Structure 1
Amino acid sequence: MIVLALIAAAFMNGNWLAVVAHTQKYHHDGALSRPACRSFFDEFKSQCIWAMAVGYGVYFGFCGYLEWKYYVRGRGKELEWKCQPRRYLPGHLVWDQIKWGCTGLMVTNVVSAVVATHVVCGGYSRVYMSVCQYPFWWWILQWPVIFVQQDYATYWIHRTFHTKFLFKHFHSLHHRYFQPTPWSVTAIHPFEITLVQLSMVVPIFIYPVHWVPFYGLALYTYYHGIIQHSGINFKARRWQPWQPDSMFHDNHHQYCHVNFGFNCYMWDQIHGSARKPDCCYNERTDGWGSGRPLASLSENDLRLEIRERAAENPKAYRDNMNPYSLLDEFSTTVKTKTVE
């Protein structure tokens, strides 16, 4: 399962093209004669064809596999694997996310094809292939440097798209899917997904990066992008203390304006946008992630919030316990009203 997800992460978004391009450039630079580059447009067409063929094959192959294994064969066993076990995305939205997922995938592959073409045609980048080209300490240090830079930038891009104007006109498309599935990983507005993709590419133009850390981290990021949008109870490994479980991002889709981080939950903790047990979050609350205190809710709104939290799968949380359960509050409310 993990191997399949890693393969999907490696080939779905077209980043493998840039790895091949940099490898070709490295070997050609050391050769006595370097083959002439075709026109930028001809090279771009070739890169796009390869990117689309591989990307869509992996998208339908891997997402289809998860659909079959869990959403088809797992029917009736949702408490064992599903983040929201009593809820399924309506059929029309399943097809909608596949449509937009294919669109988003096309955009990411076009961006990757442009980068690969730029490299093949001798364009500027600071990716290097030989470990000995820079001090080994920098090879080690760039892993956390690239990871933190990319993830922190993605956090702020995502959070900014939850402001009123950007959410209404762009990001709300991705939030049609209150119960995310693997198909929704690239079901994002073209403008937004282009911005995110470009932010991931930025390091290769700013400082020297070895291809292994850079593309290894891209693999890690896309792998978790698939896992976090799966709607399936996947938990972070022990060696990933920074990484939230898939339930973290599932909460984001269920409640909307909260939990904006992807591969580091600490950004939300630092900036006050992490989900709090005593607050309510939905599309009507503040898009900046502050939520509404439960104490300010009417009795009816509190009942709705309790019902919403009851839809979460306790097994998707650590220790198989839902830290946001409000069943005690519900009992207290009912008893109070009975006495009155």
Structure 2
Amino acid sequence: MMEETKFGRRDEFGHYAPKELISYGPLFTLPPKPMAVIKWLPGYFLPWNLLLIVFGIGYWLFLAPSLEQMKTLEIGWVLYLVLLNYAIVVLWYGAWHSWLYVLRRQETRFKYNPRWPTARATVFVFGKQALDNIFWTITSGVPVFTAYQVAAFYLYANGYVPLITLSDNPIWFIVLLLLVPFIHEVHFYAVHRLLHTRLLYKYVHSLHHNNTNVLPWSGLAMHPVEHILYFSVIVLIAVFNSHPIHMLAMVMRAGLAPAIAHTGFDRTELGGERTVPSGVYAHYLHHKLFEVNYADGAVPLDKWFGSFHDGSPEADERLKLRMERRAEAYAKKDARA
């Protein structure tokens, strides 16, 4: 059993936070610091970003139909992809949820919010958060990202988008593969800011934000319109000079990373003194505070656009001031209307 205090602390209300304030790393700092970037990169890619890229490679090598087969839209291979994606999602999300919330193998150690999710709440389908989250993931999330995946495969198979191979263009092939997490971050930020506009938040994104005390299944608990916007990054990467491996790495990133971002735990215990990072504190703060940290990762978009919260009391004060100014601006706008 690992002591929480080695990695973080709890406040007077029992809420857990990592010791280190949220930061973006040295990739975009000026002047450039090449050695600092080299030291930082392994921690960015390991374990999850690299693992999801490997999942994408494995999907192509061992599970995907051939491009020749996908030149025509046929129910056989499309249905195969649907069932395959359902199996992957159920296994992945179910494993995280079972370990942390059903079996409760580490109780509330490293859990950001010390309380377990409410047993019943009327804002959720079926009145239960977990069932609501599973419902939206299964009925909308998997079908939408599979549809994008099918479209991308069809484009590759018929030569409608440029297709490269590792042997023909090894440098760009590897570089683009490593850029997958960064492309996803930028796209996610743009879509996320759009979803926080007044009408889209009220009628679409608020469904996802019903999850304030998040579960792994909360990651893809979205309105279908949000799924359509969020997963559009799958086709976006196909318009680059790319290979289906790049697209599938993006499928794995967009489809599976939300479970990690929404575990609600900063670390997961593996037994003894071993733990692995398993939460994104920046995104937990987004669910808690709503108007901060629209992105998470290495690209400092929130810092550039004034919505960054590093977990400090000073950031709380900046947020309070920003929200007061926004409320005043909305009040003036409504008064003129």
From 252, 269, 273, the equivalent of 1:219 is: 252
Aligned sequence identity (%) = 21
* Shift, 1:252, TM fit: 1.1
The answer to whether the Cα contact below 8 Å between 1:260 and 1:268 also exists between their aligned partners in 2 is yes
**1:85 equivalent in structure 2:** 114
Alpha-carbon distance in 1 for matches of 2:70, 2:280:
47
Alpha-carbon distance in 2 for matches of 1:291, 1:106:
37
- C-alpha change, 1:167 and 1:18, in structure 2 (3 Å) is farther
The CA deviation string for residues 276-296 of structure 1, in whole angstroms up to 9 with x for no partner, is 633559xxxxxxxx7323997
- C-alpha change, 1:19 and 1:258, in structure 2 (3 Å) is farther
**2:264 equivalent in structure 1:** 231
The CA deviation string for residues 103-142 of structure 1, in whole angstroms up to 9 with x for no partner, is 222221222223324444x2512232x32323x4433443
**1:105 equivalent in structure 2:** 142
From 105, 110, 114, the equivalent of 2:151 is: 114
Q: Using CA pairs under 8 Å that are at least 6 residues apart, name the structure with larger relative contact order, 1 or 2.
A: 2
Alpha-carbon distance in 1 for matches of 2:179, 2:320:
35
- C-alpha change, 1:170 and 1:9, in structure 2 (3 Å) is farther
Alpha-carbon distance in 1 for matches of 2:76, 2:173:
32
Gaps of 5+ in 2: 1-46, 121-127, 269-276, 325-337
Q: TM-score, normalised by structure 1?
A: 0.64
The answer to whether the Cα contact below 8 Å between 2:112 and 2:266 also exists between their aligned partners in 1 is yes
From 4, 20, 30, the equivalent of 2:64 is: 20
Alpha-carbon distance in 2 for matches of 1:191, 1:295:
27
| Secondary structure, counterpart of 1:127 in structure 2 | coil
The answer to whether the Cα contact below 8 Å between 2:96 and 2:259 also exists between their aligned partners in 1 is no
| Secondary structure, counterpart of 1:291 in structure 2 | helix
Correspondence 1:67 to 2:111 = no
- C-alpha change, 1:251 and 1:17, in structure 2 (3 Å) is farther
Letter in 2 for 1:124: Y
Gaps of 5+ in 1: 29-34, 236-242, 282-289, 297-340
- C-alpha change, 1:19 and 1:60, in structure 2 (3 Å) is closer
Alpha-carbon distance in 2 for matches of 1:111, 1:140:
23
Alpha-carbon distance in 2 for matches of 1:6, 1:89:
32
The answer to whether the Cα contact below 8 Å between 1:6 and 1:219 also exists between their aligned partners in 2 is no
Alpha-carbon distance in 2 for matches of 1:119, 1:74:
44
Looking at CA atoms only, which structure, 1 or 2, has the larger radius of gyration?
1
From 241, 259, 276, the equivalent of 1:208 is: 241
- C-alpha change, 1:222 and 1:53, in structure 2 (3 Å) is closer
Alignment RMSD (CA, Å) = 3.8
The CA deviation string for residues 235-271 of structure 1, in whole angstroms up to 9 with x for no partner, is 9xxxxxxx99522111111221211113336221222
From 207, 210, 220, the equivalent of 1:173 is: 207
From 232, 253, 257, the equivalent of 1:198 is: 232
**1:131 equivalent in structure 2:** 166
Correspondence 1:55 to 2:55 = no
Alpha-carbon distance in 2 for matches of 1:8, 1:189:
27
| Secondary structure, counterpart of 2:232 in structure 1 | helix
From 287, 290, 294, the equivalent of 1:256 is: 290
* Shift, 1:161, TM fit: 0.8
- C-alpha change, 1:107 and 1:210, in structure 2 (3 Å) is closer
Which residues of 2 match residues 275-294 of structure 1 at below 5 A?
275=309, 277-278=313-314, 280=316, 291-293=319-321
**1:337 equivalent in structure 2:** none
The CA deviation string for residues 133-168 of structure 1, in whole angstroms up to 9 with x for no partner, is 23x443344345554333212211111211111101
* Shift, 1:75, TM fit: 6.8
